[in-house]
Amino acid sequence: MPYFASPVDAARLHYVDYGPADGPVLFFVNSAYVGTEMWEFQMLPLAEEGYRCVGFDRRGHGRSQDTWGGFDLDSLADDLHGLLELLDLREATLVGHSMGSLEIVRCLTRYGAGRVARIAFVGGIAPGVVRTADNPDGLDPDLVRGANEQCRRDRAAFFAAGVDAFFAVDRPGNDVSAAYRQYIVERALTSTAHSTAAVQALVAAVDVAPELPKLDAPLLVVHGTHDTSAPLDLTARRTARLAPDATLKVYDDAGHGLFVTHAGQLNADLREFAG
């Protein structure tokens, strides 16, 4: 089981590296709360087709070491870049879900696109979901903080209450078994209480809108019409307007968990985009 030392503080971070070493690189950056297991419907089939699929568990998540510090966006982006350097990856396509989109943006604005050929946001929350001067239509910060406090009081109930909306199971075609939904809740609970609170505090304040015009790589933005975690107009449409070379693809009836419900469609779009 491979690990690497964070360039920030030497924290022990777990990573996976599937597929042929000389295949086109797809580097997956996870959502909050879960590890690389979230990408099973992408990594396994795409690695079998010849892509090199790489990803790692964020600090405090999955099989990575928990730490008290290092949850600021700069440090999280440094962890991402550390693995790119360690494996000497070139011409990589970075694929980020939800919070992973923020880490990708900051990584590229800190380090440039020397190792990166393309970027894909899947249900991304970039530029940010909370109301700011640049985002007057964003969510009320007090409401976001209130939801985070509910999670602190009872993480298990918080994740269980939100899982149906996460996959938009009320929409046509989004058939996600009760067993799999329970599995995702259990995986989210493997993130420590501290790391959960830390990433929620980050999301409640972050706004990377000024950084999006600086992205120096083609960007594919994939988003669902029924994403309640990252509403389409607040996130994907704003990203597509702000990034200089962005293509927006909207999936009808998809929720935040489209990497499961629309896995076949997503994989086809990633194949076409990555080449």
Q: What amino acid positions are annotated as catalytic residues?
A: 98, 227, 256
| Residue 4 to residue 14: CA distance in whole angstroms | 7
Hey, is 250 helix, strand or coil? strand
Could you check whether the bond before residue 127 is cis, i.e. omega within 30 degrees of 0? yes
Nearest 5°: phi and psi at 125? -100, 0
| Residue 105 to residue 112: CA distance in whole angstroms | 10
Q: Who contacts 9 (Cβ-Cβ below 8 Å, separation ≥6)?
A: 67, 69, 70, 75
CB 74 within 8 A of CB 48: no
Provide the CA 244 distance to its chain's centre, in angstroms.
21
> What b/e string do you get for 213-236 counting C-beta neighbours within 10 Å, with b at 16 or more?
eebebbbbbbbbebbebbbbebbb
Tokens of 265: 């469609």
Provide the CA 266 distance to its chain's centre, in angstroms.
14
CB atoms under 10 Å from CB of 67, counted, come to 21
Amino acid symbol at 106:
R
